[in-house]
Amino acid sequence: MSKHTSATSDEETIQSKPGKPYPLGATYDGEGVNFALFSESSTAAYLCLYDAGDPSREVARIPLTERTELVWHIYLDGLQPGQLYGYRVDGPYDPKAGYFFNPNKLLLDPYARAINEPVTHNDSWLGYDYKNPSDDRYLIMSEEDSGPTMPKSVVVDSSFDWEDDQAPDVPLHRSVIYEMHVKGFTHLHPTLPENIRGTYAGLGSAESIDYLKKLGVTAVELLPVHQFTDESYWGYNSIGFFAPQNTYSSSGMAGQQVTEFKQMIKNLHKAGLEVILDVVYNHTAEGNQFGPMLSFQGIDNRAYYHQVGDKPEYYMDYTGTGNTVNLSHPRVLQMVMDSLRYWVTDMHVDGFRFDLAAALIRTDEEAGRVSSFLDTVAQDPILAQVKLIAEPWDIQSYHVGSFPVRWSEWNGKYRDALRGFWKGDDGKAAETSLRLLGSPDLYSSDGRSPANSVNLITAHDGFTLNDLVSYNEKHNEANGEDNQDGSNDNLSWNCGAEGPTDDPEINALRERQKRNFLTTMLLSQGTPMLVMGDECGRTQHGNNNGYNQDSEISWMNWDWNDKQQALFDFTSQLAALRREMPILSRRKFFTTEQVQFIRPDGHEMTQDDLNNPGTHCIALFIDGLQVTEQTEDGQDIGDEQLVWVLNAFWEDIPFKLPKIGRKQSMWEVVINTFDGQINPETEPTKGGQEFTVPARSSVLLRMK
């Protein structure tokens, strides 16, 4: 056994052993802690321990002498959970060669399970001489010690009483996803105790769970909860891929955030609700050569990031954030896979949505490496049990429909087609017909199913549903960027006035359009995704890029008027109808014998009809008698015969209902978005007779 003496004034003696290179990170075993840090090009590394009572005070700096397979490692006897630590890593500071080693900077452990304070900003965290006025000041190494102000990694005890926690394991095709923000959902909740509003405990509370169950969703998809830096309210600037965001903890930041997160998962699972994490592995919060040195840049810049080939001081930026994580490096790929498995095995999450997933499959041509991320995920037995959803684009490429068989995708083509159709744009009928059927043109030829199409009308990024029908233009002045940020191409329509209006006709049309969008999404084949607050008409006042709005612009407003309550009730009933009619959420694509599109005159639509730019009304006939499929519990999927009419035309359209067989066929209304009624008490209509479908509305009818 060796002894290491700190390099600080405390001169405390730490009992140590060589330790092991695996697992990476800080692992507590009940008697001490094993530390392991990968760094390919470094020449030295130091483990720094800090005082939990005074995190600015370094109490020990221990040179790491053991290195196995490019991993520095050591075991310290007697260390306990709650211990604060960080690393200093030495090597060349040679930015022109892609190296930024600077032992003056304290670095977060890439495998840290918790971080002890918010990651804000301090100039001392910059690895270069920020006081130098030159444009290439990043070439000059900073000698300022970042240790006193830098957040610290925390040793965590991973034990937790999960009791009999079971994953709800909701089939993808039966899922209804609710995209939400942990803080924003409960921050203004009127009945929750103030100390848990906006936290994991708030989301896991009985009040939150009751609301989600009444709404009828099956999974919450959380905007990023990996530890991130504070300039982004949304959380898309990760710096700790194993650490839950500490500002969402009501119980503390010295490891308590891990326990509180687990309790939230446990509570949601008991209610049958799944948890999907929006994860950002494509870039980090360190930015480009002018960004802060927080972790990866100082540990091994060339390993962790894609560089510009002949100018490695610069970063390849496929994400619009300054850098791109290099998943073509095997150790970086290992880190991402270890992170994913950790959140499944230790934290019990049920799936992931991958931000800018196209960036994860970028190659490193200069190094002769190809990212094997998709292949690695495909063979992983842990990830085979959870939902995997890609955002199938980045700032340079668009890959909707191109991901492998196990992957679902945010279907951006669904969003754009349906926005254009309900806005009244010409030439949208043909594509809309495919999107209603689960996008067979994208997913039917490679072993995937309709459920692999995650159907969305809105997302955190862009207008809310209310604003989609209330604004023609974005209004992002509150973001402080002179309204230059955010998309200019929203396919939105304000229905006749920009923003709030007292015009009753415009307001009635807006409510109808919201119901049209919600109905379309929840009746389409595929997996629908609702966005927090769309079910009650939440507005961001025309802001379509609330990334930095930790304000009422982005928070859920729980003070509803009658109109908002009515929209919630309508959405809840739609979700219930989807549950009760399994034919609306099949595992398989419909065949031509099972469905057909029909014209207002009752005849089958031809492709020419669908391609006609002036076609603004389509109707889908679903013949359940032709469907042979079972539900998960072995019951027949049902034999409903349905007619679903979507009239995006600005006038009423008389629609001739099908007359089936020799029996008198009678059609009853199930949904009418014109007045927002579900299962209204109305007289049925005989087959062969006309049913008037109101302008800009959708009607679902069922054979009685």
| 441 noted as active-site residue | no
8 A C-beta contact, residue 644 and residue 523: yes
DSSP state of 292: B
3-state secondary structure of 148: coil
Cα–Cα dist 281/324, whole Å:
9
Residues in the chain: 704
- CA proximity to 401, closest of 563, 276, 526, 574: 526
Question: Could you tell me which residues come within 8 angstroms of residue 668 by beta carbon, excluding any fewer than 6 positions away?
Answer: 682, 684, 685, 701, 702, 704
Rounded to 5 degrees, φ, ψ at 302 are -70, -30
Residue 203 and residue 196: Cα distance in Å, rounded?
9
616 backbone dihedrals φ, ψ, rounded to 5° = -120, 5
SS3 label, residue 85:
strand
**Host H or E run for residue 254:** none
Helix, strand or coil for residue 417? helix
Tokens of residue 232, six digits: 């982004």
Distance, in Å, from the CA atom of 288 to the CA atom of 89, rounded to the nearest integer, reads 19
Tell me which residue of 627, 531, 523 sits closest to 573, measured CA to CA: 523
From CA 537, how far away is CA 465, in angstroms rounded?
7
Which candidate in 109, 278, 300, 355 is catalytic?
A: 355
Strands (E), 328-367: 351-354
Query: What is the phi/psi pair of residue 534, to 5°?
Result: -65, -25
Contact (Cβ atoms closer than 8 angstroms) between residue 621 and residue 665 = no
- Give, as one character, the DSSP assignment of residue 20: -
At a CB cut-off of 8 Å and minimum separation 6, what does 206 contact? none
Query: Residue 446 and residue 7: Cα distance in Å, rounded?
Result: 60
Q: What's the farthest any 2 CA atoms get from each other in the chain? A: 96
Burial (CB count <10 Å: 0-12, 13-18, 19+), residue 461: middle
Q: Does 355 participate in catalysis according to the annotation?
A: yes
Q: Are the CB atoms for 298 and 318 separated by under 8 Å?
A: no
Contact in structure between 391 and 410 (CB atoms under 8 Å): yes
E strands of 416-469, at which residues?
Answer: 453-456
Q: Looking at 300, 313, 391, 534, which residue is catalytic?
A: 391
Residue 36, phi-psi category: left (phi > 0), alpha (psi -120 to 50), beta (remainder) = beta
Q: Which residues are catalytic?
A: 355, 391
